Amino acid sequence: MAEIFLAEAVVDVEAHVASTGWDAPLRVFALVSTQAALEAEPELAKMLPAETVEAARDNPLHLTSVEQDGVPDSVELDDLLASITWPEAVTGAALVVERIILPPTAEEGIPEDPSAALAYLSEHPDRQDVRMAVGVLRDGTSWCALRSRSNDSAAEVAGGPALVPGLVEALRATFD
């Protein structure tokens, strides 16, 4: 059952980021129990949509995302994830990042120089821009949502528990 609420939170986070368009920086979110947050801060009910408050009353597994401010634009994803720790009140975490993917045959021609590699990737005719939203809970439950720029609609977002396994594991490690 937790996977259902995590999937809903990850899809919501991806849609939130998608509403700002492409070429966005890395975004990180804490996922908290909406019910616990409302118990700790009742005035929060005035700031949340009524349907969110109602859903939280019915189920303690309902999650609310809290975007983490101050994520540096130039930080490497691995370095950022290695530096994150979460307080006990945080039930899970989500992140949204955009990447360029190429078919395996195109990857063979990537130059060693980072600047040249970026130019190669940006100009390659077979490139695909993707937005990856990944969420994990403390108990290990995970969910991913993927959107490609070429199929940029909510109906075309793919979802599953392990679509980006390396990113799932890296985000999961922030709870170790």
**pLDDT for the residue 145:** 98
d(CA 131, CA 159): 12
**pLDDT for the residue 73:** 77
Helix (H, G, I), strand (E, B) or coil at 47: coil
**pLDDT for the residue 4:** 95
Which stretches of the chain drop beneath a pLDDT of 70? none
**pLDDT for the residue 123:** 84
**pLDDT for the residue 102:** 81
**pLDDT for the residue 107:** 75
CB-based burial of residue 102 (10 Å sphere; 0-12 exposed, 13-18 middle, 19+ buried)?
A: middle
